[in-house]
Chain A
Amino acid sequence: MKNNYLKQAWLVLVLAVCFGGALAGVEHSLSGRIKANKLADTLGQIPSLVPGAEQGNQEMVGGQLAYRAVDGAGTPVGWVVPVTGQGFADKIELLLGLNADASQITGIYILDQKETPGLGNKIVEPEWRGQFANKSISPALVVVKRKAEKANEIEAVTGATISSESVAGIVNQAAAAFRQKLAEGGQQ
């Protein structure tokens, strides 16, 4: 029987191996460019994510890559932290803007997502992600399926509660972790 299965499936197996190799090759040759594109996108978003910021300087804070947002005179005004987490369909990559002591969110921006078109992908729209601006990081943000009333509430995208909760979850977790790292680092 075993032989019989192999006889039937050998083409699928061979193709799978060849295709896997081909994809690895494509990824290997293009990933540098894709990363550079994302970096350019990230740096371009910093002024809109942290009020007053003009550019960002790459830094490592407790092992976490972050961009220290500085104004025209070089004074630090906040942070932009790239984070990734699980969404409804695939990983969501976003940029989290925080104020200088990481106690408040100044904005978020979705770098990459594959949420359901027409529903979940509304998380990229400025209207929805604008809700995150000026929220304190504690208490943690909660997604609600009605108009947001309390200070820590985020109104879910209609029909995409899981996508909304994913984004809020990623933001909560990343903001708390980054604040802790910043405190441990003692403002070097």
Chain B
Amino acid sequence: MAGTGPTPLERFINGILPENPVYRQVLGMCPTLAVTNGMKSAMTMAGAVAFVLICANVLTSLIRNLLKPHLRILVFTLTIAVFVTIADRIIAAYMYDMSKQLGPYIPLIIVNCIIICRCEVCASKQGVFTAVSDAVGQSLGYALALTTIASVREILGSGTWFNIPVLPANWPDWVVMVLPPGAFLTLGLLMGAANWIGTNLGQRRKSAQEAA
């Protein structure tokens, strides 16, 4: 079944903005809201998700012809669980403080729908190269979403970015931004902005085509 479905390049680009896992697919909301109170934890999360997503996509793509349709979700879950456990152990060994801070959110990547969605939509149907570019694109899209949300929340909420002070010392920290309500506010406003930009660009492109 080679040659069906989007090309590797399309998969890669789609993951970043047109099908951004957070802003357009609205998947994996739990960790998105929970770990974006600081850039450091958000980037650790994005890195762990990227590792799991790429590994799971590669493995699923390699065994895609052996999959039995009714057992595929079981195999996806098994594959994802293994890579999540490996990521969790690596973080506990080399980034102990971060592992304590993120707590159960790393093990919870197992139930992050972004990964099982990519296994189902792309890796179980297309070749390894396409699966890798899809995983990298989606990971970048996820990292982009976490970066934007975490930047807004950390800068407004703590006056810092990656724990480096960026706002004047007399900035009154908006504590609400690092608390759960701040996550929902920021996500809602940024998602609205992303959709508004997407719609505007689409219309401009359409009118440019009509004019041409």
Contact = CB atoms under 8 A, between A and B. Distances in A.
Interface of A: 8-9, 11-12, 15-16, 19, 22-23, 26-27, 30, 33-34, 37-38, 40-41, 89, 112-118, 121, 124
Contacts, number: 66
Given A12-B74, A12-B78, A23-B86, 7 more contacts: A22-B82, A23-B85, A33-B94, A34-B89, A34-B93, A38-B96, A121-B103
Q: Is the interface of B mostly helix, strand, loop or mixed?
A: helix
Dominant SS among interface residues on chain A: helix
B96 A15 contact: no
A9 B67 CA distance: 10
Contacts of A16: 78
Contacts of A19: 78-79, 82
B92 interface: yes
A112 B90 CA distance: 16
Contact of B96 (A9, A22, A37, A121): A37
Interface in B88-105: 89-90, 92-94, 96, 100, 103-105
How many chain B residues sit at the interface, stated as a range, is: 20 to 34
A89 B68 contact: no
29 contacts: A8-B71, A9-B71, A11-B63, A11-B67, A11-B71, A11-B75, A15-B63, A15-B75, A22-B86, A23-B82, A23-B85, A26-B85, A26-B86, A30-B89, A30-B92, A30-B93, A33-B94, A34-B89, A34-B92, A37-B92, A37-B93, A38-B96, A41-B96, A41-B100, A89-B104, A113-B103, A117-B103, A117-B105, A118-B180
A113 B100 CA distance: 9
A69 B51 CA distance: 42
